[in-house]
Structure 1
Amino acid sequence: MPQQRTDVTHRLVPSPAGRIHLVEQGTGPLVLLVHGFPESWYSWRHQLPALAAAGCRAVAVDVRGYGRSSRPLAIDDYRMLELVEDMTAVVDALGERSAVIVGHDWGSVIAANSALLRPDVFRAVGLLSVPYAPRGGPRPSELFARMGGDEEFYVSYFQEPGRAEAEIEPDVRGWLAGFYAAFSGDTMPTPDAPDPHFVGPGGTLRARFPSGPGPAWLSESDLDFYAGEFERTGMSAALGRYRNMDRDWEDLADLDGAPITQPSLFIGGGLDASTHWMADAIKAFPSTLPGLTCTRILEGCGHWIQQERPAETNRLLTDWLDSLPA
């Protein structure tokens, strides 16, 4: 791809949600970047210039409910089918017919389902942190309720509207700082410490966050940006994604066991719980991701892959994009 640099552009484009805020840099084949929880388009700040310099039109979105995108009030407006429609609408609003979609955390799940539901639009898919696992098995709420014994898994903790918000919103900045540190390779608790993915009886997630300096990848200005976004929007819309997992399980029943056949990439963190909990999903990639052309586990890396290891992530992404059919 030709080398180039362009200015960064912020735009609002129409979608079924009302509008989606996006940040765009570069010209060339469209690469749509989708963040996870609790993040923002800003999570791709290191990738936007690198992809633009490599000859791509890099576009990072604020997912529905985040940042300056629309925030519908109904919980079921955050179901997966709606988010896939948003991604498709963004491609259309940008005047493109197809795109490569790359996601991290929940964004990985959105990217995977976008590729499954709209293969006519999404010609390749990159997945960071959360590996692809086809729809199947028991209802998610039943599965999560069985995890942790006397402790409550964080996904279950997030289900009741208002409960997690009451923990987070009185001190958004402090909570985010602890959450990011809890799952970063350089600051996560030691294996013998209480697991921050779980809540003890009558406790909070924050009670298990590490104290001390924050992760190396997160500057004070980075934290200020994230905190400012969630202080303005509140947390309910972002948490809506977790509150639709059973709806998704029902909505996507026709995709039970379906593979993603487009060219794909997976990057995982060696210290990320997703890599270990979903090890069987990674082993199944030959059948579930038959188009997989690049997979890499970054040793010593936690959950926030593209921010913890931006140079490695950028190299892997640009090499993979260069390998895709025109």
Structure 2
Amino acid sequence: MQHEITHRLVPSPAGRVHVAEQGEGPLVLLVHGFPESWYSWRAQLPALAAAGYRAAAVDVRGYGRSSRPADAAAYRMTELAADAVAVVRALGGEPAVVVGHDWGANIAAGAALLHPDVFRAVGLLSVPYAPRGGPRPSELFAAMGGEEEFYVSYFQQPGRAEAEIEPDVRGWLAGLYAALSGDTMPEPGAPDPHFVRPGGTMRERFPHGRTPAWLSEEELDYYAGEFERSGMTGALNRYRNMDRDWEDMAPFDGAPVRQPSLFAGGALDASTTWMSAAIEAFPATLPGLVSSHVLDGCGHWIQQERPAEVNTLLTAWLAALPPV
């Protein structure tokens, strides 16, 4: 049976969360990262529905049609995990599977830790799970890059990154998507787009005139239109809560995620290579790991760069989970 994607707004601690859903059966909640939207899962929604699942992709608070609180502290992990719980309960899908990409992977892991009764399994794309611990994140990122500034630190000051991005949202998004895609990223040895030179911008290190194979003009138009309407502050506020998350999650210092889990990353993605030690630690940090994959030649936008492979991995993993 074919099911159209339907859209709804559900109540949450933030006010409301936009949900795009398709299919019937056990609920799989899909959580995107930066700078994306529910639309990042456009290839997974029909595949999961065809496999017998109810797939629900959210706009994380601050994005798209979801609420955008003005207070930066409203974007801390505990709040975003509460949004995920609210969506699951509004859809009558408890207990659910949660799958996240990029920041969404962190939200998925955080939701699984904070609400193990609501989330029975967790899938992580691109960003491996690393338990809370170590120094304060702002101090850690400030020490990276020497004279250059790591992009996470660059995003901390309210208004600074917005001033770079918002005058040309479409061009900035196109450049970032190209910079982190396996087929268009800068050549080895080129200046790293994850770092900003003193007085510089991220944009100046993005590839020019190179469009990833996975991204059509119409798809880029959709992303750009969402951020032109919402602005970038809500999305960037996720980065501005790293230290709050570190404080809030202190009770989970070093804690493993014990639910059945999946990880998939791209071999060319900095999140995979820089965090290789986190992947090696999975036997301790993800004791329920069922499936782990690193896709050759793939960059950061894994479910869009390799939709067929990711769909196969997800549906096989889901089919192997204990029944609800």
Q: Which TM-score applies when normalising by structure 2?
A: 0.99
Among 182, 186, 195, the residue aligned to 2:183 = 186
CA distance, structure 1, for counterparts of residue 106 and residue 63 of structure 2: 16
For residue 299 of structure 2, what is the aligned residue in structure 1? 302
User: Which of 227, 240, 245 pairs up with 1:243?
Assistant: 240
Q: Are 1:252 and 2:252 an aligned pair?
A: no
Structure 1 partner of 2:309:
312
Please state whether the residue corresponding to 1:189 is helix, strand or coil.
Answer: coil
Confirm whether residue 28 of structure 1 aligns to residue 32 of structure 2. Answer: no
Deviations 1:141-169 (A, max 9, x none): 00000000000000000000000000000
1:6 positional shift: 1.1
Q: Is 1:324 matched with 2:312?
A: no
Q: Identify the residue that residue 104 of structure 1 maps to in structure 2.
A: 101
The 3-state SS of whatever aligns with 1:194 is coil
1:103 partner SS: strand
Aligned partner of 2:197 in structure 1 is 200
Give 3-state SS (helix, strand or coil) of 1:164's partner.
helix
Q: 2-side partners of 1:308 and 1:96: how far apart?
A: 29
Unaligned runs of 5+ in 2: none
1:184-207 superposed Cα distances (whole Å, 9 cap, x missing partner): 000000111000000001000001
Cα deviation, residue 19, structure 1: 0.3
Name the count of aligned residue pairs.
Answer: 323
Whole-Å Cα distance in 1 between the matches of residues 6 and 207 of structure 2? 37
Alignment partner, residue 37 of structure 2: 40
Deviations 1:266-309 (A, max 9, x none): 00100000111100000000000000000000000000000000
Alpha-carbon separation, structure 1, partners of 2:223 and 2:44: 17
1:55 maps to 2:52: yes
SS at match of 2:183: coil
Distance in 1 between residues matched to 2:74 and 2:240, nearest whole Å: 10
In structure 1, C-alpha distance between the alignment counterparts of 2:270 and 2:94, rounded to whole Å: 36
Taking structure 1 as the reference length, what is the TM-score of the superposition? 0.99
The residue number in structure 1 matching 2:11 is 14
What is the letter of the counterpart of residue 279 of structure 1? S
Does residue 1:64 correspond to 2:57, yes or no?
no
Secondary structure of residue in 2 paired with 1:313:
helix
Letter in 1 for 2:98: I
Instruction: After superposition, give the CA deviation of every residue in 1:3-55 in whole Å (9 maximum; x if it has no partner).
Output: x4211110000000000001000000000000000000000000000000000
Alignment correspondent of 1:154 = 151
Q: Which runs of 5 or more residues in structure 1 are unaligned?
A: none
More displaced 10-residue stretch of structure 1: 136-145 or 93-102: 93-102
Cα distance, 1:213 vs structure 2: 2.4
Counterpart CA distance in 1 for 2:44 and 2:150 is: 32
2:278 aligned with 1:281, yes or no? yes
* Partner Cα distance (1:193, 1:279) in 2: 22
Q: Distance in 2 between matches of 1:209 and 1:97?
A: 42
In 1: Cα distance, 2:43 partner to 2:99 partner: 14
Q: Does 1:125 align with 2:122?
A: yes
**Cα distance, 1:85 vs structure 2:** 0.3
Q: CA deviation at 1:248?
A: 0.3
Q: Which residue of 2 aligns with 1:141?
A: 138
Counterpart of 1:224 (choices 210, 221, 224) is 221
Moved over 6 A (4+): none
Of 212, 215, 218, 1:215 maps to: 212
